């Protein structure tokens, strides 16, 4: 198999794989899952060895960037082993991680040593009581301690991710931005996506657009749109006088679909071709039926790529049309 083989039917080069390593989490963020969520039984999820096999196959086929996410990836037992295996595979340029930050106070040095170069840390508020309402867990200080611990280490980049909900935390836009920029971290504000059925709130009522975010922040900062291309839904803005950037993630916009460079491996081993569509291929059965045959997995990945749709169709008014939860799909 040649490298850079992963080109989809619309000519897009797919060199970015996101892997959800667990659907479990120590938080219960109201926009992500209900409090009494049922997690998948162990036999239905990929083992770490299976995940590493898929990752190595993708790297062999030209994947340059792998992001590990979940659920909360750092609550998966032996995750450091898998991170190190993936990071040390020839051909990979970047191993990155998305975490809720709860384990960073003790794991940050191990992550750096394992080969993780960049970390996105989710933080939606700087108020402890509000943190409890949003995550349903009393771990605000633990997360802040984790962010401080990580920011002392030479990671290539740290970024805060904040999901903004109207009338829940949108009064903290500036405070969250200042918190991040003061610590030499970027920040991205995320629009809520209609993934999974939740009962806490009506997503159409809490929806805050990225345009509103930028308008509010422009009252505090001089922002200029960066031409940085991410291949995803993030648009970055330079902040006059600061080294770091402010991003907005607008999944509702179709503008980024034509440069989409990514696919996702779900916790159950489905290769998901688009976050907003159900097009997918079951790689778990291929892996489990062909333990020694690497060619079978490569062929299955090529077949899957042919299914990648041109664009997604999120629509809050008709939500939830995507029943998967973000935690299972590697949001």
Return residues touching ligand SF4 (CB under 6 A).
25, 27-29, 32-33, 70-72, 100, 122, 327
Binding at 195: pick from ligand SAM, ligand SF4, none (beta carbon under 5-8 Å per type): ligand SAM
Member of 25, 59, 248, 263 binding ligand SAM (CB under 6 A): 25
Member of 187, 193, 208, 283 binding ligand SAM (CB under 6 A): 193
Report the C-alpha gap between 214 and 223 in whole angstroms. 8
Report the C-alpha gap between 83 and 104 in whole angstroms. 15
Q: Is 100 in the site for ligand SAM (CB under 6 A)?
A: yes
Report the C-alpha gap between 260 and 233 in whole angstroms. 9
Q: Copy the structure tokens of residue 107.
A: 């794991």
Q: What is the radius of gyration, based on Cα positions, of the chain?
A: 19
Report the C-alpha gap between 164 and 31 in whole angstroms. 10
Residue 40 CB, nearest approach to ligand SF4 (Å)? 14
Q: Copy the structure tokens of residue 142.
A: 């633990």
Binding at 22: pick from ligand SF4, ligand SAM, none (beta carbon under 5-8 Å per type): none
Residue 9 CB, nearest approach to ligand SF4 (Å)? 31
Member of 163, 181, 239, 304 binding ligand SAM (CB under 6 A): 163
Member of 151, 161, 244, 266 binding ligand SAM (CB under 6 A): 161
List all residues 6 or more positions away from 173 whose beta carbon is below 8 Å from its beta carbon.
Answer: 164, 189, 213, 216, 217
Binding at 28: pick from ligand SAM, ligand SF4, none (beta carbon under 5-8 Å per type): ligand SF4
Binding at 136: pick from ligand SF4, ligand SAM, none (beta carbon under 5-8 Å per type): none
Strands 262-265, 280-282: pairing is unpaired
Binding site for ligand SAM (CB under 6 A): 25, 31-32, 69-72, 98-100, 122, 161, 163, 190, 192-193, 195, 326-327, 331
């Amino acid at each position: 198999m040649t490298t850079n083989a992963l080109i989809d039917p619309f000519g897009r080069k797919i060199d970015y794989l996101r892997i959800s390593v667990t659907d479990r989490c120590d938080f219960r963020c109201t926009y992500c899952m209900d409090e009494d969520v049922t997690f998948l039984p162990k036999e239905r999820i990929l083992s770490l060895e299976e995940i590493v096999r898929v990752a190595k196959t993708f790297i062999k086929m030209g994947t340059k960037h792998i992001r590990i996410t979940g659920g909360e990836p750092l609550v998966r037992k032996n995750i450091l082993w898998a991170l190190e295996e993936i990071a040390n595979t020839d051909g990979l340029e970047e191993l990155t991680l998305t975490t809720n930050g709860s384990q960073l106070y003790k794991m940050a040095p191990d992550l750096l040593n394992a080969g993780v170069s960049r970390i996105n840390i989710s933080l939606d508020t700087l108020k402890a009581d509000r943190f409890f309402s949003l995550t349903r867990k009393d771990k605000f200080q633990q997360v802040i301690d984790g962010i401080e611990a990580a920011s002392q280490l030479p990671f290539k980049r740290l970024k805060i991710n904040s999901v903004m909900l109207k009338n829940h935390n949108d009064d903290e836009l500036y405070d969250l931005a200042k918190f991040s920029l003061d610590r030499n971290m970027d920040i991205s504000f995320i629009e809520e996506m209609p993934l999974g059925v939740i009962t806490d709130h009506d997503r159409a009522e809490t929806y805050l657009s990225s345009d509103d975010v930028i308008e509010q922040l422009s009252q505090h900062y001089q922002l200029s749109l960066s031409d940085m291309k991410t291949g995803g839904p993030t648009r970055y803005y330079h902040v006059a006088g600061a080294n770091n950037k402010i991003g907005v993630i607008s999944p509702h916009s179709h503008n980024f679909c034509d440069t989409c460079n990514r696919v996702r491996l779900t916790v159950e081993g489905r290769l998901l071709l688009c976050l907003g569509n159900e097009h997918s291929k079951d790689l778990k059965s291929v892996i489990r039926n062909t333990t020694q045959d690497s060619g079978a997995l490569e062929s299955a990945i090529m077949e899957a790529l042919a299914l990648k749709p041109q664009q997604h169709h999120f629509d809050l008014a008709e939500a939830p049309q995507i029943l998967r939860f973000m935690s299972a799909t590697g949001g």
